[in-house]
Structure 1
Amino acid sequence: MKSFLMSCKLLFFRLSLALLALQLSRLFFFLFNFHSFQSLSASEIFLTFLGGFRFDIWSVFTIFLPLVVLHFIPGKYRTTKGFTKFFSIYFTIGIFVILLPDFIDTEYIKFTSKRSTFDLFNLITTGDDTLTLIPAFLTDFWYIPTGWILLSSGIVFIYRKYLNKPLPPMELAIKSSLISLASIIVLAGLFILTFRGTGYRPVSLNTAALYTSPPGINLVLNSSFTLLNTADKEELELKSFMTAQEAAAIFNPTYTSGKVNQHNPSNVIILIVESLSKEYCGYYNDGKGYTPFLDSLFSESLVFENSFSNGKKSPEALPSIFAGIPTLIDQPYAFSQYANNNISGLPSLLKNHHYQTAFFHGGKNGSMGFDLFSKILGFEEYYGLNEYPDKNDFDGNWGIWDEIYLKYFAEKLDSFQTPFLASVFTLSSHHPYSIPEKYKDKFPVGSLPIHQAVAYADYALRNFFIEAAKHEWYKNTLFVITGDHTSINDIEKYNTRVGTYAVPICFFHPSDTSLNSNKSTVFQHTDISPTILDYLGIKENIICFGQSLFKKSKKYSINYLSGIYWITDGAYYLLFDGNKSIGLYKYPEDVFEKENLLLLRSEKKQELEQYLMAYIQQYNERVRFNKLTN
C-alpha cells in the first residue's frame, strides 16, 4: 500500500506540473491578446483561468495517459534506470507537444478569432505554402517559438530536477495486482468522466460557455484540447427545436430565383480580395483607410453598411459565396466530411444557361484546396500558378503579385465566350504582406503590417479596372467585390464578435446606374449567389442558406465560432450555445457586450432565437443527409 500511495503522490506532482505549464501558456496567450478580453472584469478573468482547468485536465489525460497507467502496473521494471529515462523522455516530448498549439494560436487567433481545430492540419497539408512560409513566420513572430521553447524547457528542467525519480517498487503479488487493477478501473472512470463530463453529452468546445461569458471562450479553452476534441468529429447533430413544417415556415432554404429582374445575360466577375476587412476601407471609416480606389468605386456601387463574411478562413469563403453554404461547424465546410455533397453551386447553375465558368488564383495549385472545391462548385476551368505563363512573376511566398496577375486575368477573359462567370482570388494581402520592391515607398505603411499590402492590393484593383474598361466584355459585366474574411485589426469595434466578420460586399455594373446605393440592410456572403441569379433573371430552384437582396423579407446574418452561434438583424444580435440563448445585445451600440438584454427584450429574443433555431435545424439535417439540391 505504501508503494501505491507513493506512486499516487508522484503522479499527482507530475500531472500538476503539466497543468501548471498549460496555465502559464494561457497567461502568455492572455497577455499577447489582452485587447480581446478587455470587456472581462478581474473576477471573470480569474474564473476563466479556473474553468480552464477542466480543459487542461482533458488535454493532460489524453497526452500523458500511457504514463498515468504505467504508474500503477506492478513489476521489477519500475525501478530500472531505463524505465525512469523512458518516463523522462516521454514527459519532455509531451510537454513540448501539448504547449505548441497554445503558442501558435497566440498569434494565429488574431486572424481566425478562435482556437485552432483539427482543420488546421488540413490547411497545412493542402499544398506546400505553409511549409514554404515557415521561415517568414519564425522571423515575424519570433517571440512565439522563443516563448514556447523557454516555457517547455523550464517545465522539463523542474521535472528532471525534482520529479525524475524511479517509481516505487511494486511486486507482482496478488495484493499489489488487485490494487493495480482497482487503480486502473478508477483511472478509467476518471478518464471517461474527463471526456464525457457529468452530463449527457461529451465535453466539447461549447462546454466552455459553462465557465465564462462569450468573450472569454477562447481564454478558457486550450488549443491542444480544441485540436484533439475535433480530430474525429461526429456527424452533425440533428436538432428538433420544432417540427419540420414549423422550421420551413420560419426559414426555408428552398428558393426559386429569377422572378424579380430580367436583365440581359450579363457576364459576372467575382473578385475575392484576400483579408479585405471593412476596417481597412476609408469608405466605412470617415475616409480613414488604405483603399482609395475601392472607396471611389463603392460610391458608384450597391454596398451595404451591415455586410458580413460567413467564415474566418479563406477556404470558408468559396462555399458561402458560390453555394450559399456557411460554415456552422468546427472546421471549414470545404475540408469537412460533407465537402463532396451535391450542392447548388452558382457555376453549375450558370453553366446550364450557357455561361463559360472559370476560377483564377495566382497561388500554387492545391493552395487552400481551391482547385478541388472549385470543381465541386461546378467551375469548368481552373487557372493557378501551374497555368500562369511566366513563373518569374512569383512573389517568393504565395504566388503571382496581384497587379500582374489581375492584368493576366483581364487579358485571359478576352478568349472566353460570353456570357461568362469568372472569379479571381487575390493573395498579396496575405501574411507576410509582401509588396513589389518598386512600390516600397509608394503606399502608406500604416499601423499594422497588413496596411501597406492592402494599399497595394487596392492599387492592383485600380489598374485591373483601367485594363478591363478597354475590353469589349466590360460594359456588360456585373462585378462583385468582397473580402474572403477579416484579418488583424487596431480599431476596437472591429475586434469584436460581430466586427471580426465585417467585410465589404459591393455590386457594380458599368452600364447600370440603379446599382448605386448604400443599403442599411444586413447582407452576408451566402446572399451573393441568389442575388446574382435574381439580378440576371435566371430561373433556378436552389437550396441556399442565404437570401436574395431582391426577395422581400427581413434579412439576417448568421455565424458560428467556437461552439457559439450568433445572429443579427442589424439592430440586435443574439448569442446561442446550440441549445439555448445566452446573450442579446444592441447592434452596433453594444458590440463590446456590456449590457445583456436577454431578459429585457423578450420579443426580440424570441424573433432571433426562432429564426436561428429553424436555420440550424435545416442546416444540420440538409448538410448531414446531403439534401443541398432540389
Structure 2
Amino acid sequence: MNNYKKCITLFLKRFLLVVAIYQLSRLLFYFLNLNLFDSFTTQTFLGGLLFDFTAISYLNIPFIIAHIVPGNFKYSTRYQLMLKISFYCVNLMFIATNFIDIIYYRFTGRRSTYKMITAKGMEHEVLGLIPSFLREFWYIGIIFLIISVLFWKLLPDLSKNLLTKHLTKSDYFIKFTALIISITILLIMGRGGFQKKSIKIVDGIKYGALSNTALVLNTPFTILKTIAKKDDIDNVNYYNAKELKSIYNPVISLQSDKPPTKKNVVILILESFGNENIERGQTPFLDSLITKSYYFKNAFANGKVSIDAVPSLLSSIPSLMNNSFISSSFSLNKINGLPKIFKKEGYNTSFFHGAFNGSQNFDQYAKIAGFEHYFGKNQYDGKAAFDGTWGIFDEEFLQFYATKLTSFKQPFFSSLFTISSHNPYTIPEKSKGKLPKVTTTIQESIAYTDFALREFFKTAKKQNWYNNTLFVISADHTSSGGDLDIDKTNIGKFRIPILFFDPSNPEFTGANEKNFQQIDVMPSILDYLNIKTEMVSFGKSYKSPENFVVYYLQGTYHYIQDDYYLVFANNQTIGLYNWKKDLLLKNNLMQQDKSRVREYEKFLKAYIQSFNERTTNNKLAL
C-alpha cells in the first residue's frame, strides 16, 4: 500500500503544481492588462481558484486513473515516463490558452471559447497572425517558454527502487475504492461544488467587479464549457406567446406614404474605430465628415469582434450568444437583410473585404445574406499592395472599391470592411511619418485608414453616382483599449461612431443624442429611403421613439434605456446605473429604483426570449 500512497501523492503534487501555474498566469493576465481591470481583490483570487480547480479537475480525470489504477505495471520506468510526458503535454497545451488570451482579450473583451478558436475561416487567420503576434508580443512567448521549462523541471517523479508485491483481492478492492473516491472528488471539484448545477461561465460575475469577470475565469474553463455546446442558446420561457408579443415584437412594418428614393447605399465598416479614436487628432477626415453628417453621438456596437458586426449592421441580428452568429450552427438560417430587400427593389448588391477569401467567413455570410457579388483579396486587381499578413492595404483597396462601384449599374447597394487597423496594424512604408502624431501602433493604423477614407471620398466625388448615394459609416467594434477610464467601462467598451452622410441632402445633418446601435442601421436606412417592407429586426429606425440598446458579452446582457444602464446575468439583474451622470458606473441603483429594474427586466426578458426562439426555430425572416 506504501507504493500506492506514493502514486496518490505524486498525482496530488503534480495537480497542485498546475494550480500554481494557473495562478501565475492569472497574475500575468492582470498585470499585463492592468488598465482593463479593477483592483485584484481576495474575492477575485478565491473565485479564480474555484474556476481553476474546476478546469484542472476535468482535464486531469484521465490522469488520476492512470496514476492510481491498481496494478504493478504502473511502477515501470517506461510507464511512468509516458505518464509524465502526457500529463505535461496536455496540461501545457491548456495553460498556453491562458497566455494567448493575455493578448487576445484586449481585442475581444472576453475569454476565448471553443467556437471562437475553431470557427471556419479561423485557420487562415491563425496562420497569418501567429508570426506577427510573436513579433509584437515577443515577451509573452519568452515568459511562456520559461514557464514551460520550469513546469517540466518541477514535475515530480515517482520514487525509484520501489518494492512490488503480489496483490490480493483485498488489495484490489481497497485500491479500486480509493480510485473511485479520487475520481468522485475530482468530479465534485469539476462542477464547482455540491450545488444543483455545475458552475457556468456567467458565474464569474459573482466574484468581484463586473469588469473583472474575465480575470476570475480561465480560458481552459471557457473552452471546456463550450466544447460540447452545439447551439450556444438556452431556451427561456419567461412569457407565453401572447404576453411575449405584447411586450416585445421584432417584426417591423415600414409603410411610408412617400415613393421610394432609389439612392445608392454604401456601408463602410471601419475596423476597430471605437469612440476612443474620435476627435483626438488621429481621424481628421472622419471628424470633419461627422460635421456634415447625421451623427449618432450615443452609438454602440452589438458585439466585441469583427465577425459580430456584419450580421448586426446588414441583417439587424445582434450577437446574443457566446459564439458569433456567422460561425454558429444557426449561420444557415434564413435571413432577410439589406441585400435581399434591396435586390427586390432592383439594386445591384456587393460586399468587399480586402482580406483573403474565407477570412472570418464573410464570403459565406455574403452568399447566405443574398449579396450578388463578393470581392476579397483574390478578386483585387489593382497595383501590388499586400500588407504581408491580412490582405490589401486600405488605401489601394478603397480605390479599387471606388472603381468597381463606378462599373455597377445604379442603383446599387454595397458594403466594404476595412482591414488595415486590425492587428498587427501594418501600414505602408510610404505613409509612415506622414500621419497625425500618435502614441501607439493601433493609433497609427487608425490614422492611416482615416487617410485612406479621405482618398476614397476624393475619388468618389468625381463619379456620377456620388450625389445619388447614401453613405453609412460605422466601426465594427472598439479598439483594444482607450486612454480614459470611461473607455474601459462596459459602456465605453461598446461605444462607436455611426453616421449617415447624404451629400445631396444638407438638411440631413446634426448630432442625434438618442441611443443607437448597429442593428438599428438596417431599419433606419430603409426608413430614410421610404422603402416599404415588413421584416424581422431586433433594432429600430432612427425615427422611432424607442430609445434602447442591447448587447451581450460572455453570459451577461447589457441593456441601455434612456439614461440608465442595466446589467442582467443568471436570470437576474446585478446592476442598474445612470450612465450619463455616473460615468464610471460606481453607484449601483438596484435597491433604490426597484420599479425601474422590474420595468427594464420585463422588456429585456422578452427581447432575449424573442431572439432565442426565432433563432433556434429559424424564424429570423418572415
Shift of 1:190: 3.3
Match of 2:138 in 1: 142
Deviation at 1:12, TM superposition (A): 1.7
C-alpha distance 597-169 of structure 1, shift in aligned 2 (>3 A): farther
Matches within 5 A, 1:171-190: 172-190=167-185
Q: Is the 8 A contact 1:7 1:168 kept in 2?
A: no
Superposition deviation, residue 374 in structure 1: 1.1
Match in the other structure for 1:285: none
1:65-91 deviation digits (Å, cap 9, x = unpaired): 221112221112121100111122122
User: 1:123: Cα distance to partner?
Assistant: 4.9
1:48 corresponds to: 44
* Amino acid corresponding to residue 372 of structure 2 in structure 1: E
Q: 2:342 aligns with which of 340, 344, 350?
A: 350
| AA of the residue aligned to 2:16 | S
TM-score normalized by the length of structure 2: 0.95
- Kindly indicate whether the alpha-carbon contact (under 8 Å) linking 1:258 and 1:536 is maintained by their aligned counterparts in 2: no
CA contact (8 A) 1:114 1:561 kept: yes
1:569 is matched with 561
For 1:580 and 1:181, the matched residues in 2 are separated by: 44
Shift of 1:472: 1.0
- In 2, Cα distance between equivalents of 1:503 and 1:121: 26
Structure 2: give runs of 5+ residues left out of the alignment.
none
Aligned: 1:297 with 2:315: no
1:263 to partner: Cα distance: 4.6
Residue 544 (str. 1) matches residue 537 (str. 2): yes
1:372 Cα deviation (Å)?
A: 0.5
For residues 588 and 555 of structure 1, the distance between their equivalents in structure 2, rounded to whole angstroms, comes to 14
Deviation readout 1:191-225 (Å, 9 max, x if unpaired): 44344443443322112123333122111100111
In structure 2, do the counterparts of structure 1 residues 70 and 129 end up closer, same or farther at CA, with 3 Å as the change threshold? closer
Q: What displacement does 1:471 show?
A: 0.9
Identity between Structure 1 and Structure 2 (%): 38
Maintained 8 Å contact 2:261/2:531 = no
Alpha carbons of 1:538 and 1:15: their partners in 2 closer, same or farther (altered >3 Å)? same
Q: What root-mean-square deviation, in Å, do the aligned CA atoms of Structure 1 and Structure 2 show? A: 2.0
Q: Following superposition of structure 1 onto structure 2, how do residues 19-30 of structure 1 map, counting pairs within 5 Å?
A: 19-30=19-30
Which letter does structure 2 place at the counterpart of 1:97?
Answer: M
Alpha-carbon distance change, 74 to 212 in structure 1, aligned in 2, over 3 angstroms: same
Unaligned runs of 5+ in 1: 283-287
In 2, distance between residues paired with 1:250 and 1:115?
Answer: 33
Which amino acid in structure 2 is aligned with residue 94 of structure 1?
V
2:219 matched residue in structure 1 = 223
What's the counterpart of residue 125 of structure 2?
129
1:80 and 2:76 aligned: yes
Aligned partner of residue 371 in structure 2, secondary structure: coil
The aligned residue for residue 239 of structure 2 is: 242
**Which residue of structure 1 lines up, in the alignment, with residue 63 of structure 2?**
67
1:243-322 matched pairs, under 5 angstroms: 243-259=240-256, 262-282=259-279, 288-322=280-314
Q: How far apart are the structure 1 equivalents of 2:169 and 2:373?
A: 71
- State the partner residue of 2:550: 558
Q: Which residue of 2 aligns with 1:504?
A: 497
Once residues 12 and 591 of structure 1 are traced to their aligned partners in structure 2, the CA distance between those partners, rounded to angstroms, is 47
Change (3 A) 1:170 1:367: farther
| Residues 445, 134 of structure 1: alpha-carbon distance in 2 compared, 3 angstrom cutoff | farther
1:583/1:170 CA distance change after superposition, 3 Å? farther
- Contact 2:66–2:83, Cα closer than 8 Å, also in 1: no
Distance 1:517 1:133, change over 3 A: same
1:190–1:389 Cα change, 3 Å? same
| Matched letter for residue 551 of structure 1 | S
Shift of 1:513: 2.1
Would you say the 8 A contact 1:196–1:203 is kept in 2?
A: yes
Distance 2:255 2:184 in 1: 59
Contact 1:275 1:485 in 2 (8 A): yes
* CA drift at 1:466: 1.1
The one-letter code sitting in structure 1 at the alignment partner of 2:246 is A
Whole-angstrom CA distance in 1 between matches of 2:370 and 2:271: 22
Cα gap change, 1:413 to 1:190, in 2 (>3 Å):
same
- Counterpart secondary structure, 2:302: coil
- Cα deviation for residue 36 of structure 1 reads 2.0
Q: Deviations over 1:366-420 (max 9, x none)?
A: 1111100111111111011111114622121211111111111111111211111
User: Compared with structure 1, are the counterparts of its residues 105 and 72 closer, same or farther at alpha carbon in structure 2 (3 Å cutoff)?
Assistant: same
Q: How far, CA to CA, are the matches of 2:335 and 2:530 in structure 1?
A: 20
Contact preservation (8 Å) 2:260, 2:532: no
Contact 1:584 1:598 in 2 (8 A): yes
Q: 1:172: how far off?
A: 4.5
Query: What one-letter code is carried by the residue in structure 2 that aligns with 1:6?
Result: K
2:360 is the counterpart of 1:363 = no
Range with greater deviation from structure 2 (429-438 or 8-17): 8-17
Deviation at 1:178, TM superposition (A): 1.8
2:487 match: 494
Range that drifts further, 615-624 or 62-71: 62-71
Change (3 A) 1:353 1:469: same
> What one-letter code is carried by the residue in structure 2 that aligns with 1:271?
L
Query: Which moves more between the two structures, 234-243 or 106-115?
Result: 234-243
Equivalent-residue separation in structure 1 for 2:87 and 2:161 (angstroms): 14
**1:414 and 2:410 aligned:** no
SS in 1 for 2:524: helix
Q: Deviations over 1:344-372 (max 9, x none)?
A: 21101111111110001111111111100
- Conserved in 1, the CA contact under 8 Å of 2:346 and 2:411? yes
- Could you tell me which residue of structure 2 aligns to residue 12 of structure 1? 12
Instruction: Tell me by how many angstroms 1:163 deviates.
Output: 6.1
Q: TM-score, normalised by structure 1?
A: 0.94
